[in-house]
Amino acid sequence: MSARALVMAGGVYCLGFAVFHLAFWKLFRWREDLRSLTFVNRAIVQILNLCLTFVFVVFAVPSLAMPGEMVNTDLGRMLLMLIAIFWLLRAGEQVWFFGLRNRVSIAFFALFVAGSALYAAPLLMTAR
């Protein structure tokens, strides 16, 4: 697979997580479950989720619209590296907060490592 194709696959991957995060209210019954939090904490959780959803869109747009620039320019390569680090940190946070005690947690850990690889591989393939 080419570096550009991997970047585009990363864009689809990030869009998938944007959609997933928009479904959190229904998936995790936030209307009911977040009631136990204070007003401020309830608002913070939801705001952070919406901002993170936007970050995924920000990752996806240049990945899908400008994969060549992502691979061939210094700015694009910096973005690739930062997105790869983001997903690697998310994989580490999966272990830190959820552990690797069940299949779902292990699957998410692997999924986040894969996201990091989608963005790190084009860097390695086009190393100068």
Task: Give residue 127's pLDDT band: very low, low, confident or very high (50, 70, 90).
Answer: confident
Smallest CA-to-CA distance from 12 within 48, 63, 70 is with 63
User: What's the DSSP call for residue 128?
Assistant: -
Mean pLDDT of 31-37: 96
Residue appearing with tokens 């997903």: 87
What is the pLDDT of the chain when averaged over all its residues?
97
Phi/psi of residue 66, nearest 5 degrees: -140, 55
How much of the chain, in percent, has pLDDT values that exceed 70? Answer: 99
- Confidence (pLDDT) at 128: 65
- Confidence (pLDDT) at 107: 97
Mean pLDDT of 45-67: 98
Q: What is the pLDDT of residues 61-109, one digit of tens each?
A: 999 999 999 999 999 999 999 999 999 999 999 999 999 999 999 999 9
- Confidence (pLDDT) at 28: 97
Give the chain's largest Cα–Cα span: 53
